[in-house]
């Protein structure tokens, strides 16, 4: 299970991300590569205040590096804890 989260830079909150359902690679009329990403998401994704999100990440053993807006979590236990943190809002 892989989970990703996004951290917005201006209003400080973490937001539930969309799920990638498909990728289609093709070429434009000019011969340039084009990639279509098909996403599934809620109309109004859930938000968690940044301080609460950071505390929850620290409690589950995840260190947030300053300067990164997206991070992939490959540990299933950590991914479940972070997903639960954002989803309960």
Q: Are 18 and 41 in contact (CB under 8 A)?
A: yes
pLDDT at 31: 92
Strand order in the sheet with 70-73: 47-49, 13-15, 3-7, 70-73
Domain ranges (residues) in the chain: 3-87
**For the range 65-68, what are the long-range contacts, defined as Cβ-Cβ under 8 Å and sequence gap of 24 or more?**
68/7
> Tens-digit pLDDT profile for the chain (89 aa)?
455 655 545 567 777 767 778 889 999 999 999 999 888 877 888 788 888 888 888 888 777 777 666 677 788 888 888 878 777 65
pLDDT at 30: 92
pTM (predicted TM-score): 0.53
């Amino acid at each position: 299970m892989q989970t990703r989260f996004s951290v917005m830079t201006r209003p400080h909150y973490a937001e539930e991300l969309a799920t990638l359902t498909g990728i289609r690679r093709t070429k434009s009329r000019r011969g340039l590569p084009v990639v279509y990403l098909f996403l599934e998401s809620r109309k109004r994704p859930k938000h968690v205040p940044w301080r609460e999100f950071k505390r929850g990440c620290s409690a589950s053993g995840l260190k947030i590096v300053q300067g990164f807006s997206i991070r992939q979590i490959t540990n299933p236990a950590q991914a479940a804890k972070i997903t639960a943190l954002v989803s309960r809002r």
